[in-house]
Homo-oligomer: A and B are copies of this chain.
Amino acid sequence: MVILSDWLAAQLDKNDVEPVYRQLLRLMQQAILTGKLAPGTKLPSSRTLAGDLGIARNTVLHVYDQLSAEGYVLSTTGSGTYVADTRPDSAAVGPRATAATPDGADASAANAANAEPAACPRGDMSVRGQRLIDEAGVSAKQWGAFMPGVPDVAEFPARTWSRLQSRLWKSASHDLLTYAPGGGYRPLRRALSDYLRVARSVRCTPDQIIITTGIHQSIDLAVRLLADHGDRAWVEEPCYWGARSVLQASGIKLAPIPVDAEGLNPRESDLRHPPRMALVTPSHQYPLGMVMSLARRRTLLEYARQHKVWIIEDDYDSEFRYGSRPLASLQGLDESDRVIYVGSLGKLLFPGLRVGYMVVPERLAATFRTGVAELYREGQLMQQAVLAEFIMDGYLTSHVRRMRTLYGERRQLLIDAVTRHFGDALPVMGDEAGLHFVLRLPDHCDDRVVTAAAYDAGVIVRPLASYYLGKQQRKGLLTGYACVPHEHIEPAFDTLARVIEKHAFGKRAA
């Protein structure tokens, strides 16, 4: 026992920030786990050890209590305290698994578990996980010229928001601090259904609205409730990388469908194999920006009705239209309840808000309410209540109106800069709406390379390449103007223009 107390005395540092109690506990545990204190060893009495170490006996008693509470030692009243035998008992660890197991999946799992890292078919990660990471589109930077899809958060009326928030925290009932009931905060759902009816011609009651944390969660929920692993989904080609990732993470096979000037344009061969669902952006194709024509909308709805296809309408930024008024939603045309409408407030207010919504057919509303609560355990009712007041007091619509003007001006400034530099050499696509447009590049140049070079020069854009699932049909850069102050647009574009000239037209940088 002398050895133990000597060793402990040597290790203990009474001047250390770590309290002596924790030091002693850690050291004793270490001694037991490493075998320095063998199973069955009797520990010195608390009085003895305290004396040897020159510390309070209470400290030792507390450590012994904790050691026995955690199962390191066994105390038998009267006869003292002994080190417990906690060595992994080799029998319990069990034999190495053999591939001879009831069913294939198990066998392969067992093999995977058995194989050495090198031989291991996938190692640490799952196949779907590896794919998710390999194909991840999310970018490290979330702010700056010309980051697409990001609103100008600096323009958000933070004071107003903060005022509503403080008032609510003073007065609100405690229920708002518990989990959310499926579907979310009722007054917010009412406010949203009114807003969507007027602004987006969505036909819905508050009951049909499910509050989510955004479009990703909305799609994830719809996919898990409505489609199974191995089912097929139509996605627009090109389409939003995030939606692709969410679908694939749930085992959905993607069928890329071409888009033309009128939007989604399925081929004969596509139509012959109805998918389980179709993910579309009718108001403003993402990322190219065309509007799905009424004829195509009605054709798609009819096809969905005939073949029981679920349509997920992603209506991510249609509030920002610079020419005509916002277009009516596809959901508003749907007579046969095949459309799940998903939207978000992130682009209207600020992305970090993480509030999205989905509008589901009435017969599915209860199911989706249960599903969202069961899968994600939602909460954030305080924030939902603040948001509800923000909307009901008219701040949302006035903010959107202000931003539409502001973004419209920035869009024009950027287009002017493009024209000044390149004339008609680089056409602009999808500038009628949204927070970005596509700056077309000559077919011979690699938009990924241009993007990387621009990034090094301090300008963020996204290459059209990363939105294609199959062969890239068009070259171009997603160029966002919404979050760039007027005065920064021209200088930032000068930088981008130099990069483009160098790569697209082989000019040397000035």
Contacts and interface: CB of A to CB of B under 8 A. Distances in A.
22 contacts: A69-B324, A94-B266, A101-B273, A105-B232, A105-B253, A113-B307, A114-B308, A125-B226, A128-B224, A128-B228, A136-B373, A137-B374, A176-B352, A177-B353, A178-B351, A178-B352, A213-B213, A216-B377, A242-B374, A351-B377, A352-B381, A353-B379
A189 B342 CA distance: 32
This chain's copy number in the assembly: 2
A371 B93 contact: no
Interface of A: 29, 33, 65-66, 69-72, 84-89, 92-98, 101-102, 105-106, 109-110, 112-114, 117, 120, 124-129, 132-133, 136-138, 140, 142-143, 150, 153-154, 156, 158-159, 161-162, 165-166, 169-170, 174-182, 213-217, 220, 224-232, 242, 245-246, 249-251, 253, 266, 268, 271-276, 291, 293-295, 297-299, 301-303, 306-309, 323-325, 327-328, 333, 346, 350-354, 363-364, 367, 370-371, 373-383
Contacts of A175: 142-143
Given A86-B294, A232-B106, A271-B92, A371 B129 contact: yes
A132 B224 contact: yes
A367 B133 contact: yes
Contacts of A301: 88
B69 A327 contact: yes
A436 to B, nearest CB: 15
A376 B226 contact: no
Nearest to A101: B273
A375 B245 contact: yes
A225 B249 CA distance: 9
A325 to B, nearest CB: 6
Given A126-B231, A140-B181, 5 more contacts: A93-B302, A93-B303, A105-B232, A153-B177, A245-B375
A159 B110 CA distance: 53
Contact of A150 (B156, B178, B214, B353): B178
Given A142-B178, A308-B112, A230 B105 contact: yes
Contacts of A381: 352
Contacts of A346: 379
Contacts of A159: 169
B88 A299 contact: yes
A352 B375 contact: no
A206 to B, nearest CB: 17
A295 B253 CA distance: 45
Contacts of A179: 142, 351-352
Contacts of A97: 272-274, 307
Contacts of A158: 169, 177
A230 to B, nearest CB: 4
Query: Which residue among A156, A297, A306 has the maximum number of chain B CB atoms within 10 Å of its CB?
Result: A306
